[in-house]
């Protein structure tokens, strides 16, 4: 079985852009915005689960990055540093919107779902093709929204955005074992939840399951 | 190797960050344990499906609107240097 390859390639001219932006070259900073705005938007929307908040996070994170560029020492990649700012902005939005719930990346979330599954149903060969684009999008969105914020964020940074374990740890201010443990549980929980939709017909008994509406638990 | 031990190593295995000895133990387990094989295979598919899903793409019109707003705010403070934004 082959391993998962990250999709983000390192960019070599980045430091030159950062240096120019530090010197006040807004055009160079705009290049950095163009390079990463889509990533920041995705991350922000995964965390906040709200489109307007995600738009605000994109603006706030880049402005904060620009105003604090002098503090960026180049020991990490600019992108990792930017993601750290964006995640903090997104978490602030989430806390403001849902003050009744505690949102922390440090909390240990107890779940039963990551114990060894006893009966495992295999998936259809190309499970995503059983659904229309819109249906698939809804399944994937609702499924990931159901994960606790701390798992969701680690999964998105590692597996969707392609950050390394070390970069994810740095961006989230977590230890490497904490990132690995959250990643494993996030992956297993997503797998378990997607199985409802993707398992081979006949093993579940009654065809396509219907999506339930509802909010993700944090 | 027990299934629980396999599961503990699953993330390292999928990410390709394990030593050869552990890898061959895991693959030996996979060769006879159907459940773990399915969990491993479908976890890998889960990751691939999300990675290729293009959830939350930023539409181009919104993208340029956000970028203009960011750039104009940066420019507004350009004379005084980036640290004063």
Q: What is the pLDDT of residue A210?
A: 52
Q: What are phi and psi of A185, to 5 degrees?
A: -70, -35
Within an 8 Å CB–CB cutoff, is residue B85 touching chain A?
A: yes
CATH code reported for the domain at A14-97: 1.10.1740.10
Q: What does the alpha-carbon distance between residue B84 and residue B69 come to, in Å, rounded to a whole number?
A: 17
Q: What is the pLDDT of residue A125?
A: 87
User: Where does chain A hold its CATH 1.10.1740.10 domain(s)?
Assistant: 14-97
> Which one has a higher pLDDT value, A111 or B47?
B47
Q: 3-state DSSP call for residue B3?
A: helix
Residue pair A130/A208 in contact (Cβ under 8 Å)? The answer is: yes
Q: Which residues contact A78 (CB under 8 A, 6 or more apart)?
A: A14, A15, A17, A18, A32, A72
- When CB atoms are compared, the residue of A22, A119, A188 closest to B82 is A22
- When CB atoms are compared, the residue of B14, B27, B66 closest to A3 is B14
Structural element, H or E, at residue A17: helix A14-22
> Which one has a higher pLDDT value, A209 or B52?
B52
Residue B85 lies in a domain: no
Share of chain A above pLDDT 70, in %: 77
User: Where does chain A hold its CATH 1.10.10.10 domain(s)?
Assistant: 127-198
Q: Which residues contact A131 (CB under 8 A, 6 or more apart)?
A: A139, A197, A208
* Model pTM score: 0.84
**Range A93-110 average pLDDT:** 66
User: Which of the residues A2, A4, A129, A192 would you substitute to probe the B interface, choosing the one with the greatest number of B C-beta atoms within 10 Å?
Assistant: A4
User: Which of the residues B36, B46, B51, B67 would you substitute to probe the A interface, choosing the one with the greatest number of A C-beta atoms within 10 Å?
Assistant: B46
Distance linking the first and last C-alpha atoms of chain B: 57
pLDDT digits (tens, 9 = 90+) for A59-91: 999 999 999 999 998 888 999 999 999 999 999
ipTM of the complex: 0.87
Max CA-CA distance within chain B? 68
**Range A137-145 average pLDDT:** 95
Among the CATH numbers 1.25.10.10, 1.10.10.10, 1.10.3720.10, 3.30.420.40, which is that of A127-198?
1.10.10.10
- When CB atoms are compared, the residue of B43, B46, B70 closest to A63 is B70
With an 8 Å Cβ cutoff, are B15 and A165 in contact?
yes
CATH code for the domain in which residue B20 is found: 1.10.10
CA distance B24 to chain A (A): 12
Residue pair B77/B84 in contact (Cβ under 8 Å)? The answer is: yes
User: Which of the residues A7, A49, A67 would you substitute to probe the B interface, choosing the one with the greatest number of B C-beta atoms within 10 Å?
Assistant: A67
Q: Check pLDDT > 60 for residue A112.
A: no
With an 8 Å Cβ cutoff, are A187 and B58 in contact?
no
**Range A85-111 average pLDDT:** 74
Within an 8 Å CB–CB cutoff, is residue B41 touching chain A?
A: yes
> Which one has a higher pLDDT value, A112 or A34?
A34
Q: Which chain A residue has the Cα nearest residue B31?
A: A1
With an 8 Å Cβ cutoff, are B53 and A120 in contact?
no
Taking the C-alpha atoms of A12, A15, A21 and A23 in order, what is their torsion angle to the nearest 10 degrees?
A: -140
Residue A43, Ramachandran bin (φ over 0: left; ψ between -120 and 50: alpha; else beta)? alpha
Q: What is the pLDDT of residue A206?
A: 47
The 3-state secondary structure of A41-88, one letter per residue: HHHHHHHHCCHHHHHHHHHHHHHHHHHCHHHCCCCCCHHHHHHHHHHH
Q: What does the alpha-carbon distance between residue A101 and residue A97 come to, in Å, rounded to a whole number?
A: 9
Q: What is the pLDDT of residue A213?
A: 44
């Amino acid at each position: 079985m082959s391993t998962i390859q990250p999709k983000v390639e390192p960019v070599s001219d980045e430091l030159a852009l950062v240096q120019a932006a530090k010197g006040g070259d807004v055009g160079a900073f705009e290049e950095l915005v163009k390079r990463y705005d889509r990533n920041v938007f995705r991350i922000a929307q995964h965390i906040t689960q709200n489109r307007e908040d995600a738009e605000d996070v994109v603006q706030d994170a880049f402005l904060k990055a620009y105003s604090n560029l002098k503090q960026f020492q180049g020991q990490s990649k600019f992108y990792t540093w930017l993601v750290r700012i964006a995640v903090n902005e997104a978490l602030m939005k989430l806390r403001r919107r849902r003050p009744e719930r505690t949102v922390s990346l440090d909390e240990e979330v107890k779940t039963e779902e990551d114990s060894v599954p006893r009966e495992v149903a295999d998936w259809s060969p190309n499970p995503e093709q059983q659904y229309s684009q819109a249906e698939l999008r809804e399944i994937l969105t609702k499924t990931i929204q159901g994960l606790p914020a701390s798992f969701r964020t680690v999964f998105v940074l590692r597996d969707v955005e392609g950050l390394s374990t070390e970069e994810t740890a740095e961006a989230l201010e977590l230890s490497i074992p904490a990132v690995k443990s959250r990643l494993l549980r996030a992956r297993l929980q997503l797998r378990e939840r997607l199985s409802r939709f993707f398992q081979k017909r006949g093993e579940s008994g009654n065809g396509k399951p219907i999506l339930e509406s509802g909010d993700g638990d944090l | 190797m027990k299934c629980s031990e396999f599961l503990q190593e699953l993330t390292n295995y999928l990410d390709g960050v394990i030593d050869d000895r552990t890898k061959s133990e895991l693959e030996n387990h996979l060769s006879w344990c159907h459940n773990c094989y399915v969990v491993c295979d479908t976890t890998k598919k889960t990751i691939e499906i999300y990675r290729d899903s293009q959830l939350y793409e930023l539409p181009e019109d919104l993208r340029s609107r956000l970028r203009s707003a960011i750039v104009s705010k940066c420019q507004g403070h350009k004379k005084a240097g980036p640290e004063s934004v």
